[in-house]
Amino acid sequence: MPRDIPSLPEVRRTTQKKRDAWWTVLLVDPIATPLVRVTARWTRITPNQITWGALILGLGAAGCFAMGDWRWLIAGALIYHLSFVLDCMDGKVARLTGQGSVFGAWLDYIFDRVRVMACAVALMGGQFQRTGDLIYVWLAVAVVFLDGLRYINSLEIFKTRHTMRKQIKARMRAARRAQNADDVAFMEDLLRANPSADIEQDLNGAAADAEDAEHTGSEAQSETVEPAPRPKVVDLHQEFRSRFPVYLRFRSFLLRHRIRTHLVSGIEFQMAVFIVGPLLDQVIGATVVAGALLLVFELAIVYKLLLSTRDFGRTLEAFEKDAAEKDALEQDALEQDGTEKDGTEKDGIGGNGLSTAA
């Protein structure tokens, strides 16, 4: 009995990420997404079973790489790509059928690392046996190291950004005195949700809307309706965007096509080493170029994080300054109220004295 699965466009909307690696968007999703719909509709295969299938194919690719001959290299490259297609399908099936689990995410991550290590050792070991060139031994170490570095760096950057957001929300929660922390919105999230947004145009439009609203409110105050509160937008990438204004246009263009700006990530690195290099019989060249580009993009991310931490510090200082100004205004208002109250009481006493004397 087939499952009730939506149409292919709806499956694309549900399962595909809003932004992904260009290799996945261009060379994997066109194959994986229709297969996901067929798998979910006509079979009872679980996402974890697909993850196991991806690992088995990856180990099969490693076996082909270990043979060393160019024919086996081509076979290994093709099998590795099929393994990666399955690796992309498990998450899509989980999202489509609601079978996702924390254990499944862990299994997918661990199997990915096992597949990369096995294929790196097998590919470079096979070439070492064929040529006797010691450089392949160092390349095997470099591939495993760079793959681990990429994922460790990604995890630590995520934790740092999460900590900064958490502290900002805590400051806003304290400043608003138990108001909902959802009143804070981050520019990065808004741009991710709306890739076609133009920041400068949106900011100018927001300013114009504010002026129009103020002008309209002054003309018809009797009919004024209090607008719904808008979240305070915090931009932790302001300095980076100001230094690289072209980045905004480039980023918007890529996101409209679901491609993330991190053009050489762990995925592209793996594909260059295990697919492009073997297919072209240029294992050394593909590995060296891909490794260098991966390091360049990782350093760019670290630099972006550095600038983001500066924006974070300025944001906290702005919160503290606003809080101090509000406290000063409240103190002035209290003092003014006290002065007016004292003057009123004195006037009352003087009036009573005159009446008594009369």
- CATH of residue 115's domain is 1.20.120.1760
- Pairwise CA distance, residues 317 & 167, whole Å: 12
User: What domain range includes position 334?
Assistant: 8-215+230-339
pLDDT computed for residue 283 by the predictor: 96
Residue 353 lies in a domain: no
Contact 257, 25 (CB under 8 A): yes
Contact 108, 87 (CB under 8 A): yes
pLDDT computed for residue 173 by the predictor: 77
Residue 3 lies in a domain: no
Per-residue pLDDT of the chain (358 residues; tens, 9 = 90+): 688 899 999 999 999 999 999 999 999 999 999 999 999 999 999 999 999 999 999 999 999 999 999 999 999 999 999 999 999 999 999 999 999 899 999 999 999 999 999 999 999 999 999 999 999 999 999 999 999 999 899 999 999 999 998 888 888 777 665 444 445 667 666 666 666 555 554 545 444 554 554 454 444 444 445 555 566 778 888 889 889 989 888 999 999 999 999 999 999 999 999 999 999 999 999 999 999 999 999 999 999 999 999 999 988 888 788 777 777 887 887 778 777 666 666 565 555 554 443 3
Residue 241 lies in a domain: yes
E strands within the chain?
A: 184-186, 232-234
* Domain total in the chain: 1
Residue at token pair 């009730």: 4
E strands within 173-257?
A: 184-186, 232-234
Position 56: which residue type? I
Question: Considering only CA atoms, which of 266, 241, 243 is closest in space to residue 252?
Answer: 241
**Phi and psi dihedrals of 234, rounded to 5?**
-110, 125
Contact 8, 34 (CB under 8 A): yes
Residue 224 lies in a domain: no
pLDDT computed for residue 330 by the predictor: 76
pLDDT computed for residue 356 by the predictor: 42
Residue 69 lies in a domain: yes
Helices 102-131 and 283-357: angle between axes, nearest 10 degrees: 150
- Pairwise CA distance, residues 219 & 223, whole Å: 9
pLDDT computed for residue 210 by the predictor: 45
Residue 351 lies in a domain: no
Helix and strand tally (H, E) in the chain? 14, 2
pLDDT computed for residue 170 by the predictor: 83
Threshold 0.75, pTM exceeds: yes
Question: Considering only CA atoms, which of 9, 86, 16 is closest in space to residue 260?
Answer: 16
- Pairwise CA distance, residues 142 & 127, whole Å: 15
Position 109: which residue type? Y
Residue 2 lies in a domain: no
Residue 220 lies in a domain: no
